[in-house]
């Protein structure tokens, strides 16, 4: 429901008192696209390296296979519908498995779900982690850390319908939107954490136009010149 503001002037003990009545503050949380219901062609990442690994399916190869609907290195071909990138079971240190990026990942240009199984993807304080086009994307069960870019150190969207579910964003940096830089798209964030991210505009995320729905999500120790946690600009819809 739209926010309605009504101003009413009253006098108490001879002094004018301005009372603001707000309605429509509580509205149903918008439903995100269902991860379980989405058709999915599976592509399984079986390598933690981001360097050349002949015959292995790296994360960047999996994105390429999904984009082009053709096999890439050790990854099977994606489909014309929704593809799902999964990760093999790796033997990792107790603090988790990490993919250390050696460069920006390919831009996602087809429908995609990334189910991280608790993986870390690190931009190494040098690179943006995910760049998303104007397609539906779901990113779940993942830790996106130490990304760096002008816009969206962790994730940049451009007309994307993005669902973020059980994702941790930490240590990302950008001028605009350290964890997520959103442009004219639709963003759903559920059960996620934004901590220790830093940007000039929107320490955790920056939104320009479009709509964002946030639920069961924690913002902690993010910093920004305008919007330490959230910077929302232009004609935009934000529901928390």
CB 133 within 8 A of CB 161: no
The better pLDDT of the pair 198, 89 is held by 198
The better pLDDT of the pair 28, 187 is held by 187
| pTM of structure | 0.84
Question: In the block, which residue shows the tokens 């001028």?
Answer: 175
Give the span between the Cα atoms of 49 and 122, in whole angstroms: 12
pLDDT mean across residues, the chain: 86
Q: How much is the pLDDT for 30?
A: 55
Sort 63 into a burial class: Cβ within 10 Å, 0-12 / 13-18 / 19+. buried
* pLDDT above 70: residue 19: no
Of all residues in the chain, what percent carry a pLDDT higher than 70?
83
How close are the terminal C-alpha atoms of the chain, in Å? 13
Which whole number is the average pLDDT over 22-38?
A: 46
CB 16 within 8 A of CB 31: no
Q: Which element (helix H / strand E) includes 87?
A: strand 83-87
pLDDT band at residue 9 under the 50/70/90 scheme: very low
DSSP state for residue 72 in the 8-state scheme? B
Tell me: the pLDDT tens digits for 54-78? 999 999 999 999 999 999 999 999 9
Which whole number is the average pLDDT over 177-189?
A: 95
* pLDDT above 70: residue 18: no
Q: Which of 81, 75, 59 is nearest to 129 (CA)?
A: 59
The better pLDDT of the pair 90, 189 is held by 189
pLDDT band at residue 32 under the 50/70/90 scheme: low
CB 87 within 8 A of CB 116: yes
* pLDDT above 90: residue 14: no
Tell me: the pLDDT tens digits for 104-121? 999 999 999 999 999 999
Of all residues in the chain, what percent carry a pLDDT higher than 90?
75
Q: How much is the pLDDT for 15?
A: 42
């Amino acid at each position: 429901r739209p926010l309605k503001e009504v101003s009413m002037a009253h006098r108490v003990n001879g002094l004018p008192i301005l009372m603001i009545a707000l309605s429509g503050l509580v509205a149903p949380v918008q439903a995100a696209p269902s991860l379980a219901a989405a058709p999915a062609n599976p592509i399984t990442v079986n390598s933690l390296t981001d360097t050349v690994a002949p015959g292995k399916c790296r994360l960047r190869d999996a994105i390429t296979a999904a984009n082009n609907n053709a096999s890439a290195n050790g990854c099977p071909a994606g489909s014309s519908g929704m593809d799902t990138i999964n990760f093999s079971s790796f033997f990792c240190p107790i603090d988790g498995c990490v993919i250390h990026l050696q460069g920006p990942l390919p831009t996602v240009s087809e429908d995609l779900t990334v189910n991280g199984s608790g993986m870390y993807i690190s931009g190494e304080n040098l690179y943006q982690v995910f760049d998303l086009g104007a397609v539906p994307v779901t990113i779940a069960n993942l830790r996106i850390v130490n990304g760096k870019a002008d816009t969206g150190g962790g994730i940049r969207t451009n007309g994307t319908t993005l669902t973020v579910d059980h994702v941790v964003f930490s240590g990302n940096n950008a001028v605009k939107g350290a964890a997520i830089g959103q442009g004219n798209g639709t963003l759903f964030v559920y059960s996620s954490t934004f901590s220790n991210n830093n940007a000039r505009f929107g320490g955790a995320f920056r939104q320009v136009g479009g709509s964002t729905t946030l639920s069961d999500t924690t913002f902690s120790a993010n910093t920004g010149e305008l919007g330490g946690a959230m910077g929302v600009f232009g004609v935009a819809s934000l529901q928390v």
